[in-house]
């Protein structure tokens, strides 16, 4: 599904990613761990096609297609979902209206008609029920006054609605209390299937108690320095990262 080959990327002429290789198949859950500043968020941003980064070498291939020339929106339409893609507060735009627009834009990009209102409503209710999201939440203004847990709930709801092939969840360091972790984990566990893949980026082993990864990769100083199974996360918790430097 996703192949990352010898990926090098820079920002402001500073090389951050120094040759990343990853091979992610449908149905797999990969965790990327590593100390602060190792390049985890950069890797997710580069896969999503954010334009602040310059890819200087290597490639990102989704289902056999090199994404080099695809803009972030095109990648999203091809099935790449990056959490925190829409962290902005939009007063007056509800959680529901925002996702309706995103869904219909995606359909338009594929040459499809807008989803009829009735079907949209049905889909929204189905996904909200699956994730045990209160209907009232759906009519809140996007991100306005959201708690950490509510931001996560919104993200997971967006992911459920967009049904990505590849979901990348960059669990940045802030705002992830245990409730928020559980919202993310329950959502991911409900949404994963044999046809999609999930990449969870975290520097907390804790999250991986709830989302059990098939593979764990350690990113350090722009390189994957070790890969293993879920037991590697426990080893990192016990020993820290220093032994890998």
Least Å from the CB of residue 39 to Mg ion: 8
By CB neighbour count within 10 A (0-12 exposed, 13-18 middle, 19+ buried), where does 141 fall? middle
Q: Under the rule (CB under 6 A), what is the footprint of ligand ADP?
A: 11-12, 14, 16, 34, 36-42
Nearer to ligand ADP, 215 or 241 (CB): 241
Nearer to Mg ion, 40 or 50 (CB): 40
Nearer to Mg ion, 137 or 220 (CB): 220
d(Cα 71, Cα 51) in Å, to the nearest integer? 8
10 counts as binding Mg ion under rule CB under 5 A: no
| Residue 42 interacts with, from Mg ion, ligand ADP, none (CB under 5-8 Å by kind) | ligand ADP
- Strand duo 166-170 + 141-142: pairing: unpaired
Angle at 46 between CA 43 and CA 52, to 5 degrees: 120
Distance separating the N- and C-terminal Cα atoms of the chain = 30
Q: Which residue is nearest to Mg ion (CB)?
A: 41
Contact string 31-50 vs Mg ion (x = CB under 5 A): -----x---xx---------
Nearer to ligand ADP, 42 or 96 (CB): 42
CB atoms within 10 A of CB 207: 25
Note the residues at the interface with Mg ion (CB under 5 A). 36, 40-41
């Amino acid at each position: 599904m996703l192949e990352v080959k010898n990926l090098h990327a820079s920002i402001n002429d500073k090389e951050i990613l120094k040759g990343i290789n990853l091979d992610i198949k449908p149905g797999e859950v990969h965790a990327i761990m590593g100390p602060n500043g190792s390049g985890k968020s950069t890797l997710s941003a580069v896969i999503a096609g954010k334009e602040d980064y310059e890819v200087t070498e290597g490639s990102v291939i989704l289902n056999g297609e090199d994404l080099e020339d695809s803009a972030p929106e095109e990648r999203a339409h091809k099935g790449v979902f990056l959490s925190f893609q829409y962290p902005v507060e939009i007063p007056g735009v509800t959680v529901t209206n925002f996702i309706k627009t995103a869904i219909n834009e995606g359909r338009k990009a594929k040459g499809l008609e807008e989803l009829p209102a009735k079907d949209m409503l049905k889909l929204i209710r189905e996904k909200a029920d699956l994730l045990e999201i209160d209907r009232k939440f759906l009519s809140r203004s996007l991100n306005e006054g959201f708690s950490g847990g509510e931001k996560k709930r919104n993200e997971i709801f967006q992911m459920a609605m967009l049904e990505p092939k590849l979901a990348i969840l960059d669990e940045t360091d802030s705002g992830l209390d245990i409730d928020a972790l559980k919202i993310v984990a329950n959502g991911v566990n409900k949404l994963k299937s044999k046809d999609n893949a999930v990449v969870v980026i975290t520097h907390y082993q804790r999250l991986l108690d709830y989302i059990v990864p098939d593979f764990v990769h350690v990113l350090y100083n722009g390189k994957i320095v070790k890969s293993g199974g879920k037991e590697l996360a426990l080893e990192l918790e016990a020993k820290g990262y220093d032994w890998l430097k």
